[in-house]
Amino acid sequence: MENTKRDTQNDLDNVTTGRKTVRTIFKNQGDTGGMVNKIEVTEKEIENLLTLLEIVTVYLGDKIIPKFKTEKLKIY
């Protein structure tokens, strides 16, 4: 997601400065609004994924790992 955001930001910078690359050859100034929206959506998705990562990490540390440890200790 961060790579997508970075690539879109680079494309936006290239279009606004007038530089043409392989990725921006068919894009013009009118496409900048769509690219800005894509960057904003990607930023929101990154925030949501980070929140999900924190939740999963807490869940693993609180519920799963202790249960796993007790099951493994019962084997020995």
Q: Please give the C-alpha separations between residue 13 and each of 3, 5, 17, 67, 73, in angstroms, as whole numbers.
A: 15, 12, 6, 50, 57
- What was the pLDDT predicted at 68? 92
Q: CA 46 to CA 6: how far, in whole Å? A: 12
pLDDT at 22: 66
Checking if the pLDDT of 47 tops 70, the result is yes
The pLDDT value recorded for residue 14 is 82
- pLDDT at site 51: 97
Q: Considering the entire predicted model, what is its pTM?
A: 0.68
- pLDDT surpassing 70 at residue 24: no
Angle, CA 44 vertex, CA 53 and CA 32 arms, to 5°: 145
Tokens of 59: 């869940």
CA-based angle 42:46:23, to the nearest 5? 35
